[in-house]
Structure 1
Amino acid sequence: MPVMRGLLAPQNTFLDTIATRFDGTHSNFVLGNAQVQSLYPIVYCSDGFCELTGYARAELMQKSCACHFLYGPETSDRLTAQIQGALDDRREFKTELIFYKKEGTQFWCLLDIVPIKNEKGEVVLFLVSHKDITDKKKDQDPEQGPEMGELFYKVHRVTRPPGFNANRRRSRAVLYHLSGHLQKQDKSKLKINNNMFGEKPPIPEYKVAAIQKSRFILLHYGTFKAGWDWLILLATFYVAVTVPYNVCFTVVGGRDEGSAPRSPPSVSDILVEILFMLDIVLNFRTTFVSTSGQVVYDARSICVHYVTTWLFVDIIAALPFDLLYAFNVSVYFGVHLLKTVRLLRLLRLLQKLERYSQYSAVVLTLLMSMFALLAHWMACVWYFIGRREIESPGSWDIGWLHELAKRLGTPYFLSSLTTLAPSTVSSAPANSSHWNVSGSEVAGQSSWNSSQYYRNVSGAEAVSGTGTGGGSVAGVLGGGPSMRSSYVTSLYFALSSLTSVGFGNVSANTDSEKIFSICTMLIGALMHAVVFGNVTAIIQRMYSRRSLYHTRTKDLKDFIRVHRLPKALEQRMLECFQTMWSVNNGIDVSELLKDFPDELRADIAMHLNKELLQLPLFESASRGCLRSLSLIIKTSFCAPGEFLIRQGDALQAIYFVCSGSMEVLKDNTVLAILGKGDLIGSDSLTKEQVIKTNANVKALTYCDLQYISLKGLREVLRLYPEYAQKFISEIQHDLTYNLREGHGADVSTHTNVGERVFLLLCMIFETHRSVHTSHFDRPSLKVLFLNCCHQTLSVRPLQWQRERNTGTRIAQCCCLKRSCF
């Protein structure tokens, strides 16, 4: 598959941001829908709020965010009226009051209401946070508020310890308040809380978050970065070609190994150095794809990622060795070998091959280029060995360069042969090589002096020089084939050895040459088989998954072209396909596991679906039942903006949100916000009937889902009847939102003037507005809903009155509180 671009669709990360911001002691919060007047139903509640109040999430959904269910006898009516007024006025409000948990326990709560706006500036949600301050109230002096102190000590029956000192308690409370602004960090450092001297962090807006990145951040999939990568690719090939050639041909061939060339570097070398340095700078500002598939735009994260991956390799490869020559610094031959570290850039090349592997022509071109590059390296080493052999007194006349010189008629010669002092040797010409031998060795090599392929310019001086027997006789080796002829011959030998066993016109004669030839033939046998013999098979084995990806992508594009789908639908299909492929990499789990034994397949399925099976709903299920359920659990994926379920559709499964967030919509009104761990579906599983959905379910972010089909679930429950009854009775409490059409419209029989009374549970979309419904026998009947302190989803009896001469029924609250009218 080509390089991963990452998940780029805009996401509504409001829920994740809120959960992160209110992590820790401030995680007790609920979100209320501000678009439903007076009721403001809860669309999301945190786990901390459920633990604080003792209510389950299924019991809290759609109740008022004013938390009437937490009110009790000691709850101040004045404060509750102020809470309702703050919600109606859509303003911030903070107060302290007494709430009651589900089991009836009182606790002091710090209530904070914050309105949440969308991109249009409209208040769409209320963030209502709750903080248990009971411990703080214990430290307060009852003298500060007699009513509050007496009430607290009366409720909790707190007895003052012996030696109680009010002044000391007051001082301790002040210190405790001040110490709350300082938090210990690493047991030695103190960090000042931002809330003390700065403004409170802004509450995020409920909207689709736009991609925020600096103008100086480059996209790793952008056009500029793609062109830059191609330029770096060419520069890397240039380095891979020139560095071995300069080390073996320019430095060794025709130059003294005791000193380095002092000529300035070429313009191309300087440009490559600049490109590599600029590439390091750009990599510090280029996005990357994280392990979770998200594109990272944060500059600090980009820097950390680059420093921990490729920075060291890039710095080593970009070291400016040519500056030594530019500043006329004298170095030895070994320094030239350090330039070979630039070949480490080839490691980056192997990383970038992923993005080009989808194109067959490019793959073959790169394979051939790598083969030619290997042949070039072999040619450079072959010349290096031949040059060393021609300069060796024991094998100068049997090396391959000596044979080449014979055929071309360009013999090697000694431009001077005399006894040289060390200072004379160091001042030898730069375009020649020194050949140091003893006087006896020169005298004994009469064939060397009389050879027709070598000319001794100062033969008499050499003979007379040897007679003295003093010092070391030195000659400067010159002549021989040109560099072009030597390189072409070396490359010819390397390619013929890599692709076959050679033709013998250029052969190995010395031991060093024969050893290298053996290694070349072994490498050539492998490279020949890989590159030429099994190119198709290698590509199929290495890129089978990518081939499947490209095949499906091509089929998808052909389908779009044949059926002439609109552009918007085409984009959605491609986006959905690519994101789903990034999740499962094209692996069909059911197809993969179908050949495994049932026992092993069930264990694997339980491991894959353990997060769903660990819900309280399945705690009482036997292991056999869990194994059966695990085999029918499927995975799904939903991109931002996509609808998982539409209102009125037949419900086919129960869905579990593994990651991401979704929203439940009806008539463009948010009924619930779903996060990780939420369960949605229907509680009607006993009858084989079509279940219609009552709302839309839309993804806000990228969501991973697991679902159990209703058909498969009924079959499993039929096999385990002892668990079926408990499952049916408990699922209605575990569902975060019940999508069954007509949920809450249970019919109860009440006698009122001989008529049948209906109890209808629904959302109040606008205050004092008539709502049509199809749950009545007479379609023309209208129901007028009045504001009530009890929530519409709480099954409480309502008293129905019928107006005379109209088809309207007025629903009145059974509690008849004054605030309901």
Structure 2
Amino acid sequence: MPVMRGLIAPQNTFLDTIATRFDGTHSNFVLGNAQVQSVFPIVYCSDGFCELTGFARGELMQKSCMCHFLYGGETSDRITSQMQKALDERREFKTEIVLYKKSGSKFWCLLDIVPIKNEKSEVVLFLVSHKDITENKDLDRGNDSDTDEETGLEVHPVNRPPGCNMERRRSRAVLYHLSGHLQKQDKTKSKLKINNSVLGANANPIPEYKVADVQKSRFILLHYGAFKAGWDWLILLATFYVAVTVPYNVCFTAVEIREDGVSAARNPPSVSDILVEILFIIDIVLNFRTTYVSTSGQVVYDSRSICIHYVTSWLFVDLIAALPFDLLYAFNISVNFGVHLLKTVRLLRLLRLLQKLDRYSQYSAVVLTLLMSTFALLAHWMACVWYFIGRSEIETNNPASWDIGWLHELAKRLGTPYFLTPLTSLLGVSDSPHGAVTAANSSHWNASGLEALNVTGAAGLSQWNGTRTRLRMLNGSGMTLSGGPSVRSSYVTSLYFALSSLTSVGFGNVSANTDSEKIFSICTMLIGALMHAVVFGNVTAIIQRMYSRRSLYHTRTKDLKDFIRVHRLPKALEQRMMECFQTTWSVNNGIDVSELLKDFPDELRADIAMHLNKELLQLPLFESASRGCLRSLSLIIKTSFCAPGEFLIRQGDALQAIYFVCSGSMEVLKDNTVLAILGRGDLIGSDCLTQEEVIKTNACVKALTYCDLQYISLKGLREVLCLYPDYAQKFITEIQHDLTYNLREGHSAEVQPQAAVCKKIKNKINKNAGFVGSIKRGECRILKKYNKFSMTCGTCCSHINRHLILNSPFSTHPPPTTPNSPAPPQANLC
């Protein structure tokens, strides 16, 4: 089942985590780059730090995280040197120091330096936290007395009484010294308590600067996973099953008379009903362990958040729909009509289906099926209500008025009229079957409901067995309603009336006669008008969308034919236009790539363009280009098409682009002489690209088969090369060797093209130190072809054959053999 996947790409959430962790009193921090030695420049500073110091963020960036700009006259040089040493050694450091704000006012600062590591356990950042503790420092200074440097004990100036023994004072000091400096330790612990509450062992560890791994329990289900998709389809089928069976059971389920006179359902729940209840209960459990997409687009994996989200959204609806009413039968509890009516609350599951309809909007066939199923389901509900109204009219009215309702009319036409039977005859008061039949016959009404029928006992028994479909005690009168049409006939007739009323105004063969039936018919017609507009309006739009591409093709074909007819184009030109249009459409299916990608970011468009044009960009000509240069080139590459016999370029035309043959074959002609044959992977154009001058072509290029081409305009190419001057020089040098044929007028290849090709291949072999694996198959074919009639390339071919090696994929010439080695078969590349 298609769902919104949410933002599932791995993210580096370090900054968000730090900002959340240090929110409030500890939000004054900066991040320094640990990879820049001795400087450690600030790469991020929090808003709290800017408010504390008075500096703007722009003033702080790239300054040292040592915060020299906060030093003043009372700043301790010893502490600052310790800070620098801690940064150099990449270790944690905590201290108290006097710093100065931008305004010049000083404050006591509780400073913490914490190294931040990446996934490779390398320190990449320093988190330097600052907290203003001036008030606490002033309070401690007012309460604390002077302390002894050795013992840390408070020293009070006292008057020495006469006969005071100083040795006793020293011994007491030694005793306190041996006691472990209790007071000093308590004081130290109190000073570090603030640090431990944030960065100590009791706090969460500082996050690493890396791509965060998804913290997901193995018991958490992904809402877009394959299992959840299959489960959703199963729940969807179960929901439709409930939507069909619950109204039918409420309105059509037969009721029998128990011996105590209480009506009860005759049929126990089916296995499918029990399975559906179990599925709904299991679905509730799974929803507590299924991820969801938050309002910000993030996928939530936390179990507690998932539970809170489900409890506050769909839990109540799912619980009501999953109440196990059918389990009452397992305990032999009497089930009356009211219990069946309570089952209709299961239809609330359809609200979950409405919630997921937007997930299917891109799948036309699925939406079309769901809409038609919804319309059929509505007709089913209307049919059930229509039968329920007709049945109620018969059960609540006087037998003299039975002939008014639609259900009596149906019974009369089918020859199965309703009749009343004494309840005592059904409860076995008479031991004789004939007596029961006689009792039934005594209340048997004819088709008009006004005259009793006197039939024989055997005939009455036959009619009793053939026509009874439901038994119900009538108005507490001791009489039971029997007979009437079968359930099958009643349902089919009700469904016929519902569909005819929803889609039109009906045909009159099943009509509303009583007030209740007329009111329901009015409501049905109003609902039908609304559903007709909503459902069939959407169905029309979906069908049009399904065939939109085909419709666009026919529209453009018609426009093309109209254009040809209006302008009276010749037959040959008409055929070329139609072939070009049809072939181009088969390649891109009428999709304009540039129009489709124009709203995407430049970075994404460049990546897509590189993928689409990777075959051209993988040429040796672009091997030395940087990735940025390749991305710029990919954005200016266009596609073209040539039919057999069409000229891509004519001699003397201005050359506008460099062309790359993706498929098909072409030939280069001059004075009806074939100068070159181009195949897949060949490049044609000019080597003069640095100057803004018109380049005349020296030959014609004609398609031999259907050809797909990619080309780079010279204007765009010059602009890209101006942006990357380092690569421009390499490009000018390399293109002279990589062009299969140079079309620039006045090029030396005009005189002897075959020799030029051979010379180019020889240079390539020399450049690769005799390795001919770099020779293209097309170049080998050219050498073989032109060696037959060109004497100028004979020397080059001999030179190439001498450099061939045995393992070359294109080699057919043997390497030098020794006297003891067998000579391989002789062959010549050219």
Per the normalisation by structure 1, the TM-score is 0.55
Q: 2:336 aligns with which of 315, 332, 337?
A: 332
How far residue 555 of structure 1 moved from its aligned partner, in angstroms, is 9.8
Over 3 Å counting, the alpha-carbon distance change for 1:176 and 1:521 in structure 2 is farther
Q: Partners of 1:472 and 1:345 in 2: how far apart?
A: 37
Would you say 1:15 and 2:15 are equivalent positions?
A: yes
Instruction: Show the counterpart of 1:79.
Output: 79
Counterpart pick for 1:559 among 590, 593, 602: 593
Secondary structure of 1:144 counterpart: coil
Pairing 1:417–2:451 present: no
* Correspondence for 2:505 among 491, 501, 504: 501
Query: Contact 1:560 / 1:570 at 8 angstroms: preserved in 2?
Result: no
Q: Distance in 1 between matches of 2:331 and 2:423?
A: 34
Distance (Å, rounded) in 2 between the aligned partners of 1:508 and 1:455: 33
> Is the CA contact (8 Å cut-off) linking 1:317 and 1:345 kept in structure 2?
yes
* Higher-helix-fraction structure: 2
Return closer, same or farther for 1:105/1:264 CA change in 2, 3 Å cut-off.
same
Structure 1 residue 234, shift from structure 2 partner: 0.8
Note if contact 2:115-2:126 (Cα within 8 Å) is conserved in structure 1.
yes
Partners of 1:258 and 1:333 within 8 A in 2: no
1:246 is the counterpart of 2:257: no
Tell me, in whole angstroms, the C-alpha distance in 2 between the residues paired with 1:394 and 1:555: 71
Letter in 1 for 2:114: V
Larger radius of gyration: 2
Q: Report Cα offsets for 1:139-188 as digits up to 9, x if no partner.
A: 133513899x9xxxxxxxxxxxxxxxxxxxx99x9899869979xxxxxx
With over 3 angstroms needed to count, the CA separation of the structure-2 counterparts of 1:418 and 1:244, relative to structure 1, is: closer
1:400 to 392, 401, 406: 406
Instruction: For CA contacts below 8 A with separation 6 or more, give which structure has more relative contact order.
Output: 1
**1:202-221 map, 5 Å:** 202-221=205-224
Change over 3 Å in CA distance of 1:359–1:399 after alignment to 2? same
Aligned position for 2:813: none
Match of 1:268 in 2: 272
Report what 1:448 is aligned to.
452
Residues of 2 paired with 1:499 and 1:557: CA distance? 39
Any stretches of 5+ residues in structure 1 without a counterpart? Answer: 150-169, 183-191, 460-470, 545-553, 575-644, 650-821
Shift in alpha-carbon separation, 1:534–1:299, aligned structure 2, 3 A: closer
The match for 2:54 is 54
Counterparts of 1:206 and 1:350 in 2: how far apart (Å)?
42
Pairwise CA distance, 1:569 = 6.3
Where 2:273 maps in the other structure, the secondary structure is: helix
CA change 1:28–1:537 in 2 (3 A) is same
Distance 1:555 1:26 in 2: 59
Verify the 8 A CA contact 1:2 1:354 in the aligned structure 2.
no
- TM alignment of 1:350-749, pairs within 5 A: 350-391=354-395, 392=397, 393-414=399-420, 416-417=421-422, 447-449=451-453, 474-532=478-536, 535-536=539-540, 559=593
Label 1:309 to 1:451 Cα distance change in 2 as closer, same or farther (>3 A): farther
Offset at residue 282 of structure 1 (A): 1.1
Going from structure 1 to structure 2, the CA distance change for 1:146 and 1:513 (only over 3 Å counts) comes to same
Mapped pair 1:222 → 2:225? yes
Aligned in 2, Cα 1:73/1:200: closer, same or farther, shift over 3 Å?
same
- Which amino acid is the alignment partner of residue 394 of structure 1? A
Letter in 2 for 1:123: V
Give a deviation string over 1:177-209, Cα, whole Å, max 9, x none. Answer: 869979xxxxxxxxx996799534211111111
1:89 counterpart = 2:93:
no
- Work out the percentage of aligned pairs sharing the same amino acid: 74
Secondary structure, counterpart of 1:448 in structure 2? coil
**Partner residue in 1 for 2:237:** 234
Amino acid at match of 2:334: S
2:5 pairs with 1:5? yes
TM-superposed CA distance for 1:88, in Å, is 1.0
Partner Cα distance (1:571, 1:253) in 2:
75
Maintained 8 Å contact 2:254/2:266: no
Shift of 1:303: 0.8
Aligned AA for 1:480?
Answer: G
TM-superposed CA distance for 1:354, in Å, is: 1.1
Aligned-residue offset at 1:503 = 2.3
Question: Given the superposition, is the C-alpha separation of residues 197 and 205 from structure 1 closer, same or farther in structure 2, using an over 3 Å criterion?
Answer: closer
Equivalence for 2:326: 322
Residues 426-453 of structure 1 deviation map (CA, whole Å, 9 limit, x = unaligned): x9x9xx9xx99999999x976133599x
Q: How big is the shift at 1:518?
A: 2.8
How many equivalent residue pairs?
513
Deviation by residue 1:632-677 (Cα, 9 ceiling, x = unmatched): xxxxxxxxxxxxx99x99xxxxxxxxxxxxxxxxxxxxxxxxxxxx
What is the rounded CA distance, in whole Å, between the counterparts of 1:127 and 1:86 in structure 2?
Answer: 12
Q: Does the CA contact (< 8 Å) of 2:444 and 2:453 recur in 1? A: no
| 2:235 aligned with 1:201 | no
Q: CA RMSD in A?
A: 4.8
The CA deviation at 1:250 is 0.8
Asked whether 1:259 is paired with 2:263, we answer yes
Q: Deviations over 1:293-328 (max 9, x none)?
A: 221111111111111111101100010000112221
Q: Does the CA contact (< 8 Å) of 2:292 and 2:306 recur in 1?
A: yes
Post-superposition Cα deviations, 1:88-146, rounded to whole Å, max 9, x if no partner, equal: 11111112222233333332222211111110000111111122222222213351389
Q: Which amino acid aligns with 2:64?
A: S
The alpha-carbon distance between structure 1 residues 537 and 418, as it changes in their structure 2 partners (threshold 3 A), is closer
* TM-score under structure 2 length normalisation: 0.54
Q: For residue 123 of structure 2, what is the amino acid of its counterpart? A: V
Q: Show CA shifts across 1:558-585 (max 9, x none).
A: 739999x9xx9689769xxxxxxxxxxx
- Distance in 1 (CA, whole Å) between partners of 2:111 and 2:449 is 106
Cα distance in 1 between the residues matched to 2:303 and 2:312: 14
Moved more, 288-297 or 525-534: 525-534
Cα-to-partner distance string for 1:594-626 (whole Å, 9 max, x where unaligned): xxxxxxxxxxxxxxxxxxxxxxxxxxxxxxxxx
8 Å Cα contact 1:96/1:110 also seen in 2: yes
More divergent stretch after superposition (278-287 vs 93-102): 93-102
Distance 1:571 1:328, change over 3 A: farther
Alpha-carbon contact 1:29-1:127 (below 8 Å) kept: yes
Matched AA of 2:521 = S
Q: Where do 5+ consecutive residues of structure 2 fail to align?
A: 153-181, 464-474, 549-587, 610-627, 633-830
Equivalence for 2:131: 131
- Describe the SS at the equivalent of 1:449: coil
What SS does structure 2 have at the residue aligned with 1:378? Answer: helix
Change over 3 Å in CA distance of 1:86–1:242 after alignment to 2: same
The residue identity in structure 1 corresponding to 2:220 is I
Question: Which residue identity is paired with 1:75?
Answer: T
What per-residue deviation string (whole Å, max 9, x for no partner) do you get for residues 197-234 of structure 1? 95342111111112221111112222222221111111
Assess, with a 3 A threshold, how the Cα gap between structure 1 residues 75 and 265 changes in structure 2: closer, same or farther.
same
Contact preservation (8 Å) 1:96, 1:108: yes
Deviation at 1:243, TM superposition (A): 0.3
Please say if residues 264 and 326 of structure 1, whose CA atoms lie closer than 8 Å, have aligned partners that are also in contact.
Answer: no
Aligned-partner residue type, residue 385 of structure 2: V
TM-fit CA distance, 1:457: 6.3
Q: Does 1:293 align with 2:275?
A: no
Aligned equivalents of 2:263, 2:499: Cα separation in 1: 32
Q: How does 1:45-194 map to 2 (within 5 A)?
A: 45-138=45-138, 139-140=140-141, 141=144, 143-144=146-147
Is 1:307–2:341 an aligned residue pair? no
Offset, 1:487: 1.2
Partners of 2:146 and 2:352 in 1: CA distance: 73
